[in-house]
Homo-oligomer: A and B are copies of this chain.
Amino acid sequence: MLFDIHADKLKEECGIYGIYSRGNNVALSTYWGLYALQHRGQESAGIAVTDGREMVIQRGMGLVNEVFRAELPSLPGHIGIGHVRYSTTGSSLLINTQPLMVSYSGGKLSLAHNGNLTNAHKLRSELEKMGSVFQTSIDSEVLVNLIARSAKSTIEDRVIETLDKVEGAYCLVVMSQDKLIGVRDPHGFRPLCLGKLNGGWVLASESCALDTVGAELIRDIEPGEMVVIDDSGLRSIKYAPDNRLALCIFEYIYFSRPDSIIDGQSVYQARVQMGRQLARESGFKADLVISVPDSGTPAAIGFSYESGIPFAEGLMKNRYIGRTFIQPEQKNRDLGVRIKLNAVRSVVKDKSIIMVDDSIVRGTTSGKIVKMLKEAGAKAVHMCVSSPPIGFPCYYGIDTSVRKELIAASKNVEQIREFIGADSLYYLSLEGLHKSIQNVNYGNMCYACFNSDYPAQIPCQGQCDSNKYVFEQTHGT
């Protein structure tokens, strides 16, 4: 069994991208858009393109530049959608890659999905009772079956009828032979933004993808909004009322790229504010503030701003970490972190250090980093975390396979401090976190992983075997 050196982080599920640009071939733009969203999923990637008649798709396991190493979908087409998916160990299956492309009574359809439907098993079971067959284990296949079974005549009405039935978190891009549709669920759990490019329209999980393809950020898709793009332009349909707004707070803490603007709030600035707040709340003093790169850096800089304690790079990251593994015979498990991170001895030696990280999941990595800093001569390591303790699982699209292993589910802060060997440990308060994110357009957020206040239905517990439909083995690429 291999050891996943990136295991100690929450995992985003997906990133999606869509483009409608009459007169242009959009496959390359979709490729670059996915490239910019790669941090949202490294397991698989796919692109579907239509020229109004034919629809082609190309999907594969791996990073965007691995899947499309040889060539992009070659059909000239002016509508395209793309998807990247995260990597877990074991259940990553070629057949589960997205977008999903089907033919149905209305023609051809492709769909890509970011999020998690909390009633997918129930819907799937109902569809099976009506005679549907399922070839994958992804929620998207439930969605396309519902769309296909809708009695409505237009694709947008079919999608709306489908969304009336689903619960949970989703952002979708849907492509028919002549329309591109973008949808964000009524809670607004996952982000989706709209951009303009050469007279065409772009949809993307994050605005960094718009920047990369050269599109201008127009606005975010609102919770409960559907946009329909075709040759007559863009129409907005409010298909559902806002329903307890609940953007995933972790988009600001960790998932999104710092250069993205999500619902009007700069991710970078949110993180800097979390760092400032941490400084105020913790009152920690030390010689230096360092970050666990790269995600902890903006908060560490914010801490430095607020506290006046100098920021330095005390940990260096190996930029060539891929999906590397350590062979089983490897005795020294500390190697896992040493390969990824190294202490900068000249920075930390004989210094008291405030180390800022965005979150603690299992705590094992944090413990190894503290040990590494001490071995490099740090006098003291005070750890500051720019989010509250994660004590509850997520049902809206974040990998919860580590549920049992959430350290904050079974230990209090002092016990965690002892576990990781830090001299002090401070978690940002929920209020402090909330205060740090004040510019969000669409209201409240989902803090359920901190306080178990779930904004939407959660699925049946225990009796739902989430692996039920995972049935295909992959073999060598």
Are B108 and A133 touching (Cβ within 8 A)? no
- Answer whether A212 and B342 are a contact pair too, CB < 8 Å, given A101-B471, A133-B104: yes
Integer count of this chain's copies in the complex: 4
Are A332 and B214 touching (Cβ within 8 A)? yes
Could you say which residues of chain B place their CB within 8 Å of the CB of A332? 214
Q: At the interface, is chain A mostly helix, strand, loop or mixed?
A: mixed
Cβ distance A151 to chain B, nearest Cβ, rounded Å:
9
Are A339 and B58 touching (Cβ within 8 A)? no
| A128 and B28 alpha carbons, distance in the complex (Å) | 32
- Answer whether A319 and B294 are a contact pair too, CB < 8 Å, given A28-B330, A268-B344, A269-B346: yes
Taken residue by residue from 337 to 364, chain A's Cβ proximity to chain B (1 for < 8 Å, 0 otherwise) reads as 0110011111100000000000000000
Are B101 and A135 touching (Cβ within 8 A)? yes
| A133 and B316 alpha carbons, distance in the complex (Å) | 42
Smallest Cβ-Cβ distance to A269: which chain B residue? B346
Are B268 and A346 touching (Cβ within 8 A)? yes
Could you say which residues of chain B place their CB within 8 Å of the CB of A298? 313
**A402 contacts B by Cβ under 8 Å:** no
Taken residue by residue from 42 to 61, chain A's Cβ proximity to chain B (1 for < 8 Å, 0 otherwise) reads as 10000000000011111010
A: contact size bracket: 35 or more
Are B104 and A128 touching (Cβ within 8 A)? yes
| A310 and B310 alpha carbons, distance in the complex (Å) | 10
Are A36 and B312 touching (Cβ within 8 A)? no
B42, B54, B63, B327: which contacts A471 (Cβ < 8 A)?
Answer: B54
Within 8 A of B (CB), among A83-119: 100-105, 108-109
Are A320 and B63 touching (Cβ within 8 A)? yes
Are A60 and B476 touching (Cβ within 8 A)? yes
Cβ distance A310 to chain B, nearest Cβ, rounded Å:
6
**A208 contacts B by Cβ under 8 Å:** yes
Within 8 A of B (CB), among A304-329: 305, 310-313, 316, 318-320, 322-324, 327
Are A339 and B148 touching (Cβ within 8 A)? no
**A279 contacts B by Cβ under 8 Å:** no
Q: Can you report 27 residue pairs joining A to B where beta carbons are below 8 Å apart?
A: A28-B330, A35-B318, A36-B339, A38-B319, A39-B319, A60-B475, A65-B320, A65-B324, A73-B473, A103-B128, A103-B134, A103-B469, A104-B128, A105-B128, A128-B148, A131-B132, A131-B145, A133-B148, A208-B342, A212-B339, A214-B334, A214-B338, A259-B343, A268-B344, A268-B347, A272-B312, A301-B313
